[in-house]
Amino acid sequence: MKPVIGVMPLWDELRDSLWMLPGYLDGISQAGGVPLIFPFTSDEEELAQLMDRCDGFLLTGGHDVSPDIYGEDPLPQLQECCRKRDDMELIVLRKAIEQDKPVLGICRGLQFINAALGGTLYQDLPTQRPSAVEHHQSGAYDAPTHDVELVADSPLCRYLGKTSMKVNSYHHQGVKDLADSLSVMGTAPDGLVEALYRPSSRFLWAVQWHPEFMFRTDADSREIFRAFVESMS
């Protein structure tokens, strides 16, 4: 049986609709998993029932994380948040950790994991942490735009068998204070956290870049999805 992976939905407020980037689903499928898009709900009983049928969970990109999660007031540069999605993912993350089921966070997923576990975020990197590193590329999203230095002997370093990699980048928020229960797996040339994990979990990884855009042409991106799916065997 292939592992079933619950995928957090993307939400379009203007159209009042759920949507999904196919790369998330295809990345899971090519790695040997079965993706299952969750409904948009923060009902704990419904989520518990759905989670019982899943072997792991993917926290996708999307909205800014609501700053009240990490105890800050919103800055003018804060972009659209979705509190219902935050509430839903708080439940999913908490239950996944309690059940020790694998979790992979991508972009917002990394930011959300850090905030939910007690860390803080830069609400807007260009104004709060200016850098010469391109963190919000334009054009082809499957093209790498900067390097990531992997922490020696971290899970991602060991799995890929390398100490650096090239990634794409499309975000304006990032980790400010790292949650106590998390450790860094990789950083950008300017020192910004690009990958993290929770050492006490069977598998809880998160990356700031977008392997769902790169996995068709980039072996490292495929390996990230593979590591996630293999952790459920």
Beta bridge partners of 121: 175
Domain 4-230, second-level architecture: 3-Layer(aba) Sandwich (3.40)
Provide the 8-state DSSP code for 131: -
In angstroms, the CA 125 to CA 119 distance is: 16
- For a pLDDT cut of 90, what percent of the chain falls above it? 98
In angstroms, the CA 96 to CA 144 distance is: 31
* pLDDT tens digits, one per residue of 78-99: 999 999 999 999 999 999 999 9
Residue 14's pLDDT is 87
Confidence of residue 200 (pLDDT cuts 50, 70, 90): very high
Catalytic residue list:
107, 210, 212
- Spell out the long-range contacts of 118-121 with Cβ–Cβ below 8 A and sequence spacing 24 or more: 118/70, 118/179, 118/180, 118/181, 119/70, 119/175, 119/176, 119/177, 119/178, 119/179, 119/182, 120/70, 120/71, 120/72, 120/175, 120/176, 120/177, 121/65, 121/67, 121/70, 121/173, 121/174, 121/175, 121/176
Predicted confidence (pLDDT) at residue 26 exceeds the cutoff of 90: yes
Amino acid at 44: E
Which residues fall within 8 angstroms of residue 132, CB to CB, at 6 or more apart? 190
Angle, vertex CA 233, rays to CA 182 and CA 142, nearest 5: 65
Measured in degrees and rounded to the nearest 5, phi and psi for residue 11 equal -125, 130
CA 104 to chain centre: 6
Amino acid at 20: M
* pLDDT tens digits, one per residue of 136-183: 999 899 999 999 999 999 999 999 999 999 999 999 999 999 999 999
Query: What number of other Cβ atoms are within 10 A of residue 210's Cβ?
Result: 23
Six-digit token string for 184: 């860094």
Six-digit token string for 192: 């910004």
Q: Please give the average per-residue pLDDT across 173-201, as a whole number.
A: 98
Query: What number of other Cβ atoms are within 10 A of residue 98's Cβ?
Result: 8
Q: Which residue blocks in 31-72 are alpha helix, DSSP H?
A: 44-52
Pairing of strands 121-122, 146-150: unpaired
Lowest mean pLDDT among 5-19, 156-170, 178-192: 5-19
Six-digit token string for 99: 């059940």
